[in-house]
Each structure stands twice: as C-alpha cells, then as structure tokens.
Structure 1
Amino acid sequence: MTAKLSRHALAAAIAALLATPALAQEADAPASAEDEARTLDTLVVTAQRRVERAKDVPVALTTVDTEKLHVLGSGGGDIRFLAGRLPSLNIESSFGRAFPRFYIRGLGNTDFDLNASQPVSLVYDEVVQENPLLKGFPVFDLESVEMVRGPQGTLFGRNTPAGVVKFESAKPTRSLDGYGSIAVGTYGTTNVEGAIGGPLGENWSARASVLYQRRGEWVDNTNPNARTNRDLEGYDESAARVQLRYDGSETFEALFNVHARHLNGTARLFRASLFERGSNDLRDGFDDDEVSIDGRNFQELDTFGANARLSWKLSDTLTLYSITGYESAESLSRGDIDGGSVYTFPPDELGEALFPAESADGLPEHRQLSQEFRLESNNDGPFNWQAGLFWFDEEITIDSFNYDTLAGGVQNGYAWQRQDNTAYAAFGSVNWAITDAFTLRAGLRYTRDEKEFVAQRLQSPIGAGATPRLTANPSDSNVSWDVAGVWSLNDAVNLYARVATGFRAPSIQGRLLFGDSVSVADSEEVISYEAGVKAELWDNRARLGFAVFHYELDNQQLTAVGGATNFNRLINADRTVGQGFEVDFDAYLTDSLMVTFGASYNDTEIRDRDLAVQPCGGGCTVTDPVVGGLALLDGNPLPQAPKWVYNLTARYVRPVGESAEFFVYTDWAYRSEVNFFLYEAAEFRGKSLLEGGLRVGYGWGNGQYEVALYGRNILNEIRAVGAIDFNNLTGFVNEPRIVGVEFRANY
C-alpha cells in the first residue's frame, strides 16, 4: 500500500509543480513579457466528424502530437506504446505485435481469438478496422491521433461502447515536403521511416510513406533439444502507404489511399512457472533474455487495404461525403503455449510445465468492405446538422491447429470456423447554438447487425473425435443516442455535460479444439454520464481538460479464458459499473520548457451474483469464493483495467546560435495493478508498471536536421503483463530497455 500511495502522491506533486510556476508567471510577468511569450496552438479535432476546436466538443478526448508519436516509436515499438500514454487507455496483447487489445475506462476484451469483438473501435483514415489483426497497423507519418472516450454510438456506432481511437494519415499537399529518419539501438533494433509528397500536375498531389522496423533475436532458448530456432523475440516489419489527392474543382475533392503491412517474427514468448506460488513475484533466477521451450515459434502477417474519400459541395451550406473502404488480412502464428520444456507434477521451477501445449492460429481468408454516405451542413447560423448511412460486410475464415510436442511436433488437432457479418446503420446529429453561451448537441443511430457462423473440429488433440458442423446465426437491432450541452463561461473556459448510450452486437466464440460447443454472447448496451471542463489558461500558455464519468453496462460480453480444460467461452454479466475521472494538462512553463500531464482513475465492478467461471485447475491461489469448482465473479474489477494511470512529458529547449538548438525530452507512463483474468488469483495480478523514456539531441538548420540519443524503458522495469492460466503459472513480460541513436531530416 505504501508504494501505491507514494506514486499517487508523486503524481499529485508533479501536477502541483506544473501549475505553480505558470500561476506565478501570470501574476508576476509584465505585459510586454506576456506579449512575447510562447503560446499553444489552437487544438482542432474531428472527434464529432467535423473540424472544430477541441474546447467546443462535449466529450472527453485526448490528442497526441506528431513529435510525441515519433519519440514513443523511436525504439521500434508497435501501437502498444500508446498504453498509459493517454488517460484511461490500456493496450496489451498475448499475440505479440500482431494483435493489440484496447481498453478505455476499463472496457475491453481479453479474448485472443482471431474473430474476437472489441468494444473499442479503431478508425484509421475514417475506415473502421474491425478485425483485431487490422488494429495493429503501424503508427507512422500521421497527421493526428485522437482518443474519444465513452460511448460513441451515434456518429461512429460500429461496436463503440467504450470509445474510439482515431488515426489520420498526413495528407498530400500542394508543396513538396517530407522527412526521413533512421534509428539504431540495442538488440539490433532498427527503425527507418520516411515520406515524400507534393504536386502532380495542376489538379493532383500525392504522398508516399514507408516504415521498416527490425529487432534481432535477443532471447536465448536454453533448451538444447529445441525444435524451434535457438534465438527468439526478433521481428522484421514493413509498411507502406500511398495517397493520391484531387482538388481541381471548387465543388469536388477526392483522396485515394492504398496501404499494406508485412510482419515476420516471433510469436509471444510464454514462460512456464514464471510466478512464485502464492504471490505475483517473478521467480528467483528469472532472466528476460532466456527461455526454455521445446515447441516451434513464429508469426507471419500480411494486410492490405484501400479506401476512397470523396466530397461534393452541393451548395454553400451542404456537403456530401462518401467513404469507401476495403481491408484484408492473412496470418499464421505458432507458439509454445505452455512456455516450458520440462514436464513435472507439480511444476515448481522456471521452465517446468504440467503438460505440453503447442498450437497455431491462421487466417487464410479475410476481407472487409465498408461504405458510408454522410451529409453535413455548414450554416453560418446557430443550427447545423449531419446525417448518413453506413454499411459493413466482413467474411473471415480461421484455422486452428494443435501439435504433439513430445512426438516431434506432428499435428494432432485441427478445427476451422467461418463467419459472415453484415451490419448497416442510419444516423444523424444536430448542433444548435441556443444562445451565445449555450450549445445543445444530440444524436441518434439505428443499427442492424447480422452474423452467420459455422465451425467444425476435424481432429481432436485429446481423442474426442470430430464434431458435426456447428452453426450460430445471431442478429440484433439497436437505437443509440446521445445528448450534450456546452456552456461557455467566458472566451477561455467551457463546461459540458453529456449522456450517451452505446451498443455491441452479439459475438460468437467457436474455438473447438478442446470443446464441443459454440458460445454466443448476447448484445451489450451501455449508458454513460459525463461532465467536464475545458479551458485555455494563462493567455493560451496552458490547456486543461477535466472530466468525471459514471457508466452502467448491461449484459457485458466477457471472455472466460482457458482454465483447467483450456476452453474459451463467451459469457454475459448482468451489470458492470464504472466511474472515475480524467485530467489532461499541457503548458509552457517557460518559453523553453513545455510539459504535458495526464491522469485517470477508473473504478470498475462486475455485479452478477450468479456469474462464475472455471479458474486454473491447480497451482494458482484463487482469492474469489469457489463453489462447485467455479470462481464467483461478483464484485471483481474488469481484467486489464488499472485504477490509476499517470503520464508526463517534458521538453526543454536551449537555442544555440540563430538556427540550432539543444533539447531534452522525457516521457513517463505509470499504470497501477491489473487483474489478468475475470477471476482473482494472487499470481495473476500484474504489478504496477512505470516506464520512462529519454531523448537528448541537437537540431540545426531551423529544424531541418536532428540527431539524438534515445532510451525506452530506461529504468528497465520488467513486469509480467499477462498470463496463461494453465496449471503451471505461465506468463509473459514487457519489453526491455532499448538505447540507441537517431538521425532525422525534414524537407
């Protein structure tokens, strides 16, 4: 408890330190100094599908600037580097770089199935990325990142009861511009990216962006009889995006986008008997650059997509938008799931497991199509609106394999599943400035979702034989809505309040290797209450956002993972409640020192007296009541939902001559303890995690060139970030410290 209180106290002290100099400066500085002081740019967002000031948007949101994105990704990190860097956001994966799982305000999904549905929607260039493998597309050459918290069931709607993360690529412009950077670091880490864009004739412009990331195989497999490669945890990843823009008409614009990704590397490394029995301490002798496994381990992923965004100016006050998207993915990932090479009862040393488990999941066929038409008004008067139609269609086929590790890795299990998902919606929203000081917003969306699912096991690893074809065809309709008001206290401060609902369509789980049935989770619905303040302080030298919220979720879809029989199934909780607050603060404390600070508190609770799941079959110390071999979940927090998240960045600049500067940039992210599963066990509770970064560099040529030394996870704090609840206390850990050097050129 003492450690937790000290870190919360530290965060409060940081906040006080950030505020005190700025307040003192405002009180003491003469008018001439204030006139010359550096100020923040007006923050403009598209969180409500139209361009507007963030201060005027009645919803809690956080943006990430391009410099911060570049710093966080300099060590070759994937999209998970955003975890904890935004209040109320967590991102984790038991699938490695390929399959990120997002959580906002505690709401997410721990399911590792390639067909898993998530309550956080990721929208990349205005196209929803529904399949989890699509959500991991690399972060590079972006114009903006916005996280919009709470239900977004009106304007986005596609499975968004927790919120939306929006990425927008840097667009082609009429001037020749671009950048290039190369970073090299420890463990053979390489990060190369660049972009170039400019005009193509009178009416067209284009932009091409590329990324290449690599890490060497830095984990040694100490098992002398391993069938996999002796060195692990490396990867090669590349991605590219090409955009073509037409703006030669006063009434018509078009933006075309083609993008692709290729990943070849190591699947997530599981480590048998990682935890000390009865605690969440890592076992004595644990070394993150060693593992002992006997199964094969690899991961391959290819994605491809294209979209077309068209707009027609029908009149001075009305614009029609069309957004057409296509996405596809193909993957195969195989791993030693038990994480060991010695099989004993009971397993009691690092690398020891109760039984061998080696499996693979493949996505041989996948494609997603989406189409949206949206009308938007642009009146000079107090009333504006937007309305649209949305259509989504996805086809997916999944192969699941199991292998007999002790027989040389021969295949001894196979099952497949196929799903067709069609959804369509009609939506609209209004924005009415009732007075100069008060604006009312409201929205409504009708959604229809239909799924056709079939699955079959043809080969059983436990001798159960084949199953017949098992089918499920759930469907549902829903009407989501939101109402919000914005009160302008003065030119610098706005207050807002919002009530919103959200919806997630029925989900299906059909992993049949170790089970004989398909599980279906009913639709979940959420209602959320939120209020906050947004302010521009100290003559635009600082910006503050603060929100409090409470939500109630009916029939929440949850995933009971693994357990003694290693079988996943979907369940619904009668009710889940959550409440908390979030803070975003940006400020120039001096003209040379820019800081950002974020914090969030999320208290979640499952309320269902009868809901129970199968815990691990032995070895772990279950702290929930156990009745009939099942752990009761009533009162538990949601998994992977830290109560506290803090983040801080600080950038200090010292000019050198007329066109150069020396800079120091540091970033820190903290999250408190998390449960790995729905049930609570002493071993399966991740300890708090603090990760920091440091960047020291020199820039010249008025920002054209830069060279810097960087470090990621500079404290080298290694924690378990997830687990597999077999009987051998298997877990996996975060990434180690990476140190390197980078050169960047802008043109």
Structure 2
Amino acid sequence: MRMKTLPKQIATAIVISSAAHNLWASTLEEVVVTAQKRSQSVQDIGITMSAFNGDTLKELGVQSSQDIAAYTPNVRIINQFPTSVPTFTIRGVGLNDFNSNNNSAVGVYVDGVYQTSPAMLGFQLFDTERVEVLKGPQGTLYGKNTTAGAINFIAKRPSQETEGNVSVTYGRFNAGRIEAAVGGGITETVAVRAAISHDFSDGNVKNRVTGNDLHDVDKLAGRFLINWQPSQDVDVLLNLHAGKDRSGGPVYYHRGLQDPNDVSQECAPVQAGKYDPSQCVDVYGYSDTDGDLHKVDIDHEPKQKDDFYGMALSVNWDLGWATVDSITAYENYDRFMSEDADASPNALVHDQFDDEITQFSQELRLTSNSEEDFTWITGLYYGKDEVNTVQDDNCTTEFGPPCAFAYYRLDLEQTSEVMAAFLHTEWQFKDNLKLTAGTRYSYEEKKDFHSSTAFSLTEADFYAGNLFIPAYENTDDNVTFSNVSWRLGLDWNVNEDTLAYASVSTGFKSGGFPGGWAFSGPQQLEPFDDEQILAYEVGVKSTLLEQTLRLNAAAFYYDYDDLQVFGVVEVAGLPPVQTLTNSGNAKIKGFEADVNWLVSDGWEIIGGIGVLSTELQDYQGFGGTDASGNNLANAPELTLNATIKRTWHLDSGKIAANVSANYQDKVYFDVFNDELLSEDSYTLYNARIAYSSSEHNYTVGLWGKNITDEEYTGMGFHFRGFPGNSFLNAGMQRTYGVSFDYNF
C-alpha cells in the first residue's frame, strides 16, 4: 500500500495541540453501544466500529446520514444525485447504483429497522441519541446480511422526566434548520417524546439562464415515540414517523466530451484522459467555460417531491433466563424527481423518476441473560418490499439518432422477500480469552420482476398514454439466492485497559435484476448473481495514560468474489447504457486507527486514519469493457480526520471551540478508473465556537464549514455519444452561520 504524507495543516495542528500536554484533569467518558444487541462498552467488543453521541453530532454539525463519513476512516458516503440517493461505501465495499430496486452493500438501520432502497437513505438526523458504524461483513447477528458493514441511527427515547429542547441554525444561502423535541411521562407506565425538524435553504447554485438559485432545500420530518412499561419485565416502544421533501432537484456541472469541429467524435483532450472546455463541447456545441462548479446554464430546473411515513413496534420482554425482542416495522416512500440530464441550455435530455417503495419487516431475537461464561443470541428475520418505478426521458429528435423517438418510458415492478435465521455465541473460556462464533442462513427471492422500455413517436402520444412502441422486456421474472455465512473471533484481554482481537468472517449480498433502461436488448435485464466476502481482521483497543488516551487500530484483508459492478458505458448507436454485472473478484487490504486524547485540562484531540488498497481482478463488462487491475469505485487510498477541541470554564458557563480537518485521497467514481470521472485529493476544514450557560439551558454558537472554500466533485457519469457530456455532482462550497440551542 502506498502511504502518503499527512497534509501539512493537519500535522501542524496535531503538533501544536500535543505541545500543550500538561496534567490530565479528567478521564475519557465510557462509550456504551448496542451494536451486539446488548449494552456494552465499545472498548470491550472485538469488532471495529465508531460511535457518536448526540452532543458530538451537534458539535460537528452532522445533520444527515452522509455527514458521518467525514469523521470515520475508510468510510465514504456520497450522493448519487446531488441532493439525494446516497451511496455508502466501507473499506472499498459498496455499490454506486442509483436505481431504487437495488440494495446497499452497507446495512443502514434507523431505530433497528433496515432501510431497503437507496432512495430511502438520505434522511435527516434529528433528536439523535447515537450513531454506530460497524465495519466488515455483517452476517451473523441481526437484520439483513451485508458485505460492507452496518450503520445504526438511534433516536432519543422517552423518559419519565419532562424535558425538551429547541435548536435553530441559520447561515449562508439563507440556509438553516429548526429542530424541536419535547417529552416526559404522562402516566407512571407511559412516557412519550415528539420531535420535529425543518431544513430550508434558498439554494447554492446559480442558473445563468433564468437567474434563479437552484439546489434549494425544503425538508420536514417528524417522529412521535410512545414508551409503555406495564411491568418491570416488559418494555414496549411505538415509533411513528413521517416527512416530506419539496427541495429543488439535482443540478449537475457540465463537461463537454465532443470535438467542436466534428461533434460525432470525442475531442482530443478527452481522448488523452484530460478536459479542456475551450476544446470540448457537447453535441449542440455547448461548453461551460468559466470553471465555476456552482454556476450552470440549464433550460429545465428540476424539482423533488418525496413523501414518506412509517411505524416500528419494538417489544422487549425479560423472561428471567432470557430476553425476547421483537421489532415489527412498515415503511412507505414515494419519490418524484425531475432533472436536466444534459446539464446544458439546450433541450437534449430531461428525465423524471417516479418511485413507490413499501417495505415490511419482522425480527425476533432471544438473548440469554446468563452472567456465566457462555452467552448467546438467536433469532429470525423476515423482510418484504415492493418497488414500482416509472422513468420518463424526453430526448430531442433534432439531432437525429440515437434519439429517433421523442420520449422513452421505463416501467419496472419488483417484489423482494428475505428470510434468515441466525445464532451468535460468546464463550469466555479463560479469564482473559473469549471465543465468538456465529452463523446465519439467508434465503432471498426477487420475484414478479417486470421491466420494459418503450418509445413514443411524439409528445402528444406520450402524454396521451398511447401509441407506445414496446422495445425490450425481461424474460426472467424470478430468481432466488441462499447462503450460509459465519464468523469466528478471538478476544484477548491483555490487561484491564487493552483488548486484542482477531476474526475471520463471511458476508453475502443477494443478486437481483438491473433497474435501468434497456436500450440494447433484453440481455441488459438479465439477473446478476450474489456477491460474497471472506474477511480477515486483527485489531487492538486500548485506553492509556490513566484513562485519558483511547487508541484503537485494525488491519484487514478481504477476498471479494463476484462483486456487483454498476457502470454507464457507451455502445455505438445507442444512448448511454446502464450495466450491472458480476466481476470475477477483488482483493482489498487496509489499515485504520482512531484516537481520542484528553491532552490536558481543556484540550482534546480526536482523529483517525484509513489506508486502503483495492484491486479489481478479471473483469469483462458489457460491450467488451475491461476494468481488470483497476481500483474499486469510491475507495480512496488514504483518508484522515482530525478534530481539536478547546474548552474554557467560566463562572457563568463555558466556551467550547473546535476545528476539524477531513482529508480524502484521489478517488475514482467507477471501476473503469477514467481520469475524467475522478477527484484529486482535497481537505475540508470546519470550525465552531459556542458559549453555554452554567445551567446548560442554552448555547449560542458560530460555525463554518469548508471554510477554505475548497472546490471538489463527489460523483459523476459520462453521457458519451449523446448528448456528449459528463455530468458531475459538485461539493458544497463555504458556508457559515449562527446557532442557538435552548434546553428545558
């Protein structure tokens, strides 16, 4: 693996703060998690994970699921569309498919409920108790089997004490959040908690065609929890939640790929793997030449309209010798999104996505209450989801082929079912040695799949809903997958403050059907197979210097077979073709470490490093494309994060300040490692300073994100041939503002 030099700014900050080392005034707080479905200190669990409590999330300005990645080594979370559909990648394992009928390689759980579709993963974080990030295959314990890891988002529970808070944030682009929560006991056995959050913004992208601000934000979400404890042995929690999104839709940065003298050919810089806006245009001769990622020329201003609601009923029943846990959940998610896919002032390609997603899940667990040397968890999981998708594509016929028709329509239906049984055991066979063993049987079925791509000759035919000319339909409508996964681990308590661990485990992600357009024939709709991982890992967790320094590190090696690869490729005479196929295999190896150090009274350092080496082997893709030997998508070789905190205690309260830096190495957006679909290394800096009263009833603060105004892109795709451009998702520019929190 190639190790790079730390960015000078991060290294300097660490050296300066380390020089302040003095006498330790306090010790680190114990971090308690429920990653293994029982309350445990994170330092006592022989798995690699990161955990953030609600106060830390607020200090770091974390407001959405994708914000977590900046503070977690070897984790990358980036939106497929600039405003939605995040892709989760852990240690190079992920899937950058934006279609709603697929599943993430990372298991994303909200209050214990697995979220089935990528379209559902861009949720707001509010009134949050804790976030837990588990790395490596999750194949033996709970929920759905995944190859990359799991992220658990856990809301604050009701309590008998009446309490609440109001939080207001406001900043650049008239952007902000209003968040409120209140709860308490209403009887001796019933407590409730209600929370609501509203995100808003005028938008951070300027459309030079209309003068309007785009990427505006208007999101509203709410949650109501009812906690009933009829006895000391029974605890029932009902979670009701709903929300809507009326934000502006995705806006892309345009890069022309064609030769201005012959738009049927790619320009010379692109052929050389470079980009020059003065020498490259799209098929209509347009090029965005000013280089400003946040100014565009588009004729169609996109919109977003999402509505969702759901419920989860959790029952915990202590039988004495064991505890029964049941989670019954239902989710409904409706999404409408339009976009200007050609990202130009010409009416070339306009798309819209209309999805309806429903899911039901039931999990039952039985956990031993024994305090002896042997403990176990066993359980059953069932999940069912239905996806209905309509995608419409307005493709101009003025240019001629491949847009021989005015409109295209994709109709897709799919039902998925998953059933699993699992067993997880821990045996303390010596005072300082513990053996962990687990297994899981999974059965998954993708059925009733139907996908068809049809053409319409005229706009009138399209809106009338008739004279569609059928194109290609799938021939298979049902596929099944089964798998037995397992984990073996050994924990060694070297002493009271140091845990060493080693494990070998397997993970499984089922196959399915591609969810994209079928322009090239029914073979595009053939099912893809499941993928598997065999993972080896060793690590150490230690608490040193009289409980003031926490240092955790791990090294890992993955043998990754039949991984599912999504890409957009060019096929002569056709619009860009989406492909989802299995490659041969890949090798992944890496290292990561986290540190939390109370340097002295009022000084604290939090940091992490991730080093990653990935190689795709023996991959022959659709149309003869070859990516053998390439890096995996969304897998930077080096990630770093460092946060320095300083606290001043006053008679009237305290002042707390923090500065954080997050570095990411060069990353490729797809497995073809196209230099035009990549982003060079960059560092983002955030800062916050806040005053809190001595009674802790209010806090007022100033904050800034990306304070050096770094320009970067996070994702992109080629539309080669037609309309002859790339479209890229630009990262957020510098923002700043004020915040106010009131607790009662």
Cα separation, 2, equivalents of 1:700 and 1:68:
18
- Would the aligned equivalents of 1:687 and 1:720 in 2 still touch at CA under 8 Å? no
Aligned to 1:632: 626
Correspondent of 2:250 among 245, 255, 268: 268
Shift of the 411–361 alpha-carbon distance from structure 1 to 2, 3 Å rule, reads farther
Q: Is 1:104 matched with 2:90?
A: yes
Q: Which runs of 5+ in 2 are unaligned?
A: 258-268, 278-288, 459-467
Query: Would you say the 8 A contact 2:234–2:315 is kept in 1?
Result: yes
In the alignment, structure 1 residue 50 sits paired with structure 2 residue 60: no
Would you say 1:294 and 2:304 are equivalent positions? Answer: no
CA–CA separation in structure 2 for the residues paired with 1:570 and 1:461: 29
1:582 Cα offset (Å): 0.9
> 2:285 is matched with which residue?
none
Is 1:529–2:559 an aligned residue pair?
A: no
Q: CA deviation at 1:67?
A: 2.5
Match of 2:201 among 215, 219, 223: 215
**In the TM superposition, what is the alpha-carbon distance from 1:306 to its structure 2 partner?**
0.5
Select the residue among 322, 335, 338 that pairs with 1:334.
338
C-alpha contact 2:253 2:293 (8 A) present in aligned 1: no
Selected match of 1:719 from 705, 712, 716: 712
1:428 to 415, 423, 428: 423
**Does the alignment pair 1:656 with 2:650?**
yes
1:51-102, Cα deviation, whole Å (9 max, x unpaired): 111112111101123223113437xx53222223211110111223331110
Q: Letter of the 2:636 partner, please give it.
A: P
Residue 6 of structure 2 aligns with an amino acid whose one-letter code is R
| Residue matched to 2:412 | 417
2:484 aligned partner: 479
SS state at 2:633 partner: coil
**2:6 aligned residue:** 7
Shift of 1:729: 3.2
Count matched residues: 698
Question: Partners in 1 of 2:20 and 2:726 — Cα distance?
Answer: 49
User: Residue 467 of structure 1 contacts residue 516 of structure 1 at CA under 8 Å; is this kept in 2?
Assistant: yes
Aligned residue in 2 for 1:595: 605
CA change 1:72–1:654 in 2 (3 A) is closer
Q: Secondary structure at the match of 1:55?
A: helix
Q: Which residue of 2 aligns with 1:467?
A: 472
Deviation at 1:116, TM superposition (A): 2.2
Deviates more, 1:273-282 or 1:569-578: 273-282
Same amino acid, percent of matched pairs = 28
Would the aligned equivalents of 1:560 and 1:613 in 2 still touch at CA under 8 Å?
no
Q: Aligned AA for 2:581?
A: I
Distance change (3 Å), C-alpha of 1:268 and 1:274: farther
Which residue is 2:621 aligned to?
Answer: 612
Q: What is the letter of the counterpart of residue 592 of structure 1? A: G
Out of 367, 373, 381, the residue aligned to residue 376 of structure 1 is 367
The aligned residue for residue 667 of structure 2 is: 674
Distance 2:112 2:389 in 1: 27
Pick aligned residue for 2:699 from 687, 706, 719: 706
Secondary structure of 1:694 counterpart: strand
Counterpart residue identity of residue 82, structure 1: I
- Per-residue deviation at 1:271? 2.0
**d(CA) in 2 for partners of 1:274, 1:219:** 19
1:558 aligns with 2:550: no
| 1:39 pairs with 2:27 | yes
Contact 1:671 1:688 in 2 (8 A): yes
Q: Does 1:685 align with 2:678?
A: yes
**Aligned CA distance change for structure 1 residues 80 and 562 (closer, same or farther; 3 Å):** farther
SS at match of 1:70: helix
Once residues 387 and 18 of structure 2 are traced to their aligned partners in structure 1, the CA distance between those partners, rounded to angstroms, is 51
- Report the CA distance shift for 1:115/1:532 in structure 2 as closer, same or farther (over 3 A): same
Secondary structure of the corresponding residue to residue 140 of structure 1? coil
1:274·1:286 contact (CA, 8 Å) conserved in 2?
no
1:80 is matched with which residue: 63, 66, 85? 66
Distance in 2, matches of 1:306 and 1:411, equals: 42
- The answer to whether the 8 Å contact 1:360/1:400 transfers is yes
- Aligned-partner Cα distance in 2 for 1:393–1:104: 25
What CA distance in whole angstroms lies between the structure 1 residues aligned with 2:653 and 2:35?
36
By how many angstroms is 1:538 displaced?
1.3
Equivalent residue letter for 1:356: L
Equivalent residue for 1:185? 171
CA distance in 2, matches of 1:85, 1:211: 23
Offset from partner CA, 1:356-404 (integer Å, 9 cap, x none): 22111111x3210000111001112111111011111111101110114
Aligned partner of 2:499 in structure 1 is 494
Structure 1 residues 78 and 144, CA gap change in structure 2 (3 angstroms):
closer
Per the alignment, residue 583 of structure 1 pairs with: 593
Q: Which runs of 4+ in 1 moved over 3 A?
A: 4-22, 71-74, 274-284, 404-407, 460-471, 562-565
Q: Retained in 1: the 8 A contact 2:171–2:736? A: yes
Q: Is the 8 A contact 1:456 1:470 kept in 2?
A: no
Deviation at 1:212, TM superposition (A): 0.5
The one-letter amino acid paired with 2:519 is F
Q: Comparing 412-421 with 505-514, which one deviates more in the overlay? A: 505-514
Aligned letter for 1:586? N
> 1:725: Cα distance to partner?
0.7
Instruction: Work out the CA distance in 2 between the residues paired with 1:647 and 1:557.
Output: 29
Q: d(CA) in 1 for partners of 2:44 and 2:539?
A: 12
Residue 322 (structure 2) pairs with residue 318 (structure 1):
yes
Aligned to 2:136: 150
Kept after mapping to 1: 8 A contact 2:145/2:442: no
Q: Distance in 1 between matches of 2:274 and 2:729?
A: 12
Corresponding residue number in structure 2 for 1:257:
239
Provide closer, same or farther for how the CA distance between residues 698 and 389 of structure 1 changes in structure 2, counting only shifts above 3 A. same
CA, structure 1 residues 333+580, in 2 after alignment: closer, same or farther (shift >3 Å)? same
Taking only aligned residues, the RMSD between alpha carbons, in angstroms, comes to 2.5
Query: Which structure 1 segments of 5+ residues have no match?
Result: 343-354, 615-629
Tell which deviates more after alignment, 645-654 or 214-223: 214-223
Q: Does 1:307 align with 2:309?
A: no
Match of 1:116, SS state, is coil
Distance 1:305 1:426 in 2: 25
Superposition deviation, residue 439 in structure 1: 0.7
Deviations 1:605-631 (A, max 9, x none): 1011x52355xxxxxxxxxxxxxxx44
CA contact 1:98–1:301 (8 Å) conserved in 2: no
Check conservation: 2:81, 2:729, Cα contact below 8 A: no
* Equivalent position amino acid for 1:149 in 2: K
Contact residue 562 and residue 724 of structure 1 kept, 8 A: no
Q: Can you list the C-alpha shifts for 1:287-330, whole angstroms capped at 9, x where unaligned?
A: 23320012341111111110011011112x31111111111100
Q: Report the TM-score when normalising by structure 1.
A: 0.89
